[in-house]
Structure 1
Amino acid sequence: MTVLPHPATGELFGSPVPPASGWPGDPARPDTPVARTPAAVRRLARGATLPEIDARVSVCRACPRLVRWREDVAVTKRASYAGEPYWGRPIAGWGAPDPRVLVVGLAPAANGGNRTGRIFTGDRSGDWLVASLHRVGLATQATSVHAADGLELVDTRMVAAVRCAPPLNKPTTEERDTCAPWIEAEVGLLAGSVRVAVALGSIGWDATLRTFRALGWDVPRPRPKFGHGAEAVIGGPAHDVLLLGCYHPSQQNTFTGRLTESMLDDVLGRAAAAARMGG
């Protein structure tokens, strides 16, 4: 097992995480501050720029269970990726810095984003999502393989409610709340350009509503219910944001036919069209 220093903290641990200069697009620097407690997350998220949020998210260590899990996965690895380095760190948001479409997911996959260092990259969920984004004109290519594969999102940004891969894809409520200031700070910076938010799954739906409410936007009451193709309007100070619900492109949904390519294209196509029409 290779032991390498953490790019921001210098701590040595077994996860083969690359130094800051050795991974495509790594936002962290040796002087990037590291959040180790919920209070530190709140402090470091407050008032940060988008590049600062990306960097600080990527070295966050505020949830001990998630830190252990993501780094253990990066050491043990899936057999099919045994010869590849793993990112093994939290995943920053990715895409356009002034998006009109915001895609909100739950958390990185253990052998997807946790391996490749980019959200919805290197797993079947990412394959489905990016292929659909490409078909509706929101991505420059149909595949998302690794962080240096040339993919760009068109007027679109992806974020996750929780930035570390959780065991069984289920973060605890405490972990969700600890991570919340990151998405709130990020969406707060993006909200001026966002016209449509696509929530993947009920957790993405709830996270989107919770985030905009925390930012002072007018979230409908009673709380809109999630469903595939569900719509709600979130009122803002200068413009509204259309919220669209979409089943998560997980294997559980795509293998069973609960989510089909045409269903995914319908929601993302609706998002693309509404974003172009928005003021």
Structure 2
Amino acid sequence: MLPASSPVPEAEPPHDCPLCPRLVAFREELRAEHPDWWNAPVQAFGDPDAWLGIVGLAPGKHGANRTGRPFTGDYAGVLLYDTLKKFGLAEGVYEERVDDSLRLTGCAIINSVKCLPPQNKPLPSEIETCRSFLSLSVAALPSARVLVALGQIAHGAAVRTCGGVPARYKFGHLAEHVLPDGRVLIDSYHCSRYNQNTGRLTAEMFEAVFARALEVKGKS
């Protein structure tokens, strides 16, 4: 089953996007190995009228690259979607598949890199190339005046997209930045399995990010 329609369809790359040769080669390798997987650029997911934009890193191999929906089918998605539901930003039941009843309300997930990179590590050139799609996504979400960056790569991509220079905006969990375009960026450690298992990110720490996002929304 295909994933839900993107909230920013005009910002999505084609299914066979050719722009990053290394990512294309990896995609073709996985298509041969797992022909029933999505294995293509993963579209944004969420509410087209979102007030909150969640900037992720890239699809996970067994998560979004397999299912076609951000944070769906991997360990990181459980914490993310449980947290969004707790703060009224999601409804329905998350069952780790694209045809479950999960819906986002008031937020949208827009990744820094659309395609799965080897070892989950995109090259700087790939991040920069894909930023054209992130920029289009942010522009297509004019009501998203608050952004949450999941990890340092997402932080840098979000800062650049909104007209800033990353060196002037230091990444840190719960760090908060007013960007040149007026949006407020709140940083979070990524909700990866590694960060959760090592205790770098706890559920309470993650929830604090979204609690703060709601506070910022209330002041705007």
Say yes or no: TM over 0.5.
yes
% identity of equivalent residues:
39
Could you tell me which of 44, 59, 77 is aligned with 1:93?
44
Instruction: Find the partner of 2:194 among 235, 244, 252.
Output: 252
Determine helix, strand or coil for the equivalent of 2:103: coil
| 1:109 maps onto 2:60 in alignment | yes
C-alpha spacing 1:154/1:254, structure 2 compared with 1 (3 Å): same
Q: State the structure with more CA Rg.
A: 1
User: Structure 1 residues 206 and 144 mapped into 2: Cα distance closer, same or farther (>3 Å)?
Assistant: farther
Q: 1:193 to 1:278 in 2, by over 3 A?
A: farther
Q: Secondary structure at the match of 2:168?
A: coil
Q: Classify 1:198/1:26 alpha carbon distance in 2 versus 1 (closer, same or farther; 3 Å).
A: closer
The answer on 1:204 being equivalent to 2:204 is no
- Calculate the aligned-residue CA RMSD, in Å: 2.2
Contact 1:116 1:147 (C-alpha < 8 Å) held by counterparts:
yes
* Structure 2 counterparts to residues 158-237 of structure 1, below 5 A: 158-190=109-141, 192-213=142-163, 219=164, 223-236=168-181
**CA deviation profile, 1:5-31 (whole Å, cap 9, x unmatched):** xxxxxxxxxxxxxxxxx624367xxxx
Establish whether residue 65 from structure 1 lines up as the match of residue 22 from structure 2.
yes
Question: Structure 1 residue 74: deviation in Å?
Answer: 4.1
TM-score, with length taken from structure 1? 0.73
Equivalent residue number for residue 2 of structure 2: 23
Structure 1 unaligned runs (5+)? 1-21, 28-48, 78-83, 214-218
Task: Please give the alpha-carbon distance, in whole angstroms, between the structure 1 residues aligned to 2:78 and 2:199.
Answer: 16
Kept in 1: contact 2:90–2:102 (CA 8 A)? yes
Letter in 2 for 1:145: E
1:241 partner amino acid: R
State the one-letter code of the partner of 2:177: A
- Which has the larger displacement, 247-256 or 219-228? 219-228
Q: Determine which of 76, 90, 93 is the counterpart of 1:139.
A: 90
- TM superposition shift of 1:125: 0.8
Deviations, residues 95-114 of structure 1 (Å, cap 9, x unaligned):
11121001001110111100
Structure number with greater CO (CA < 8 Å, separation at least 6) is 2
Where structure 2 has 5 or more consecutive residues not aligned to the other structure, the ranges are: none
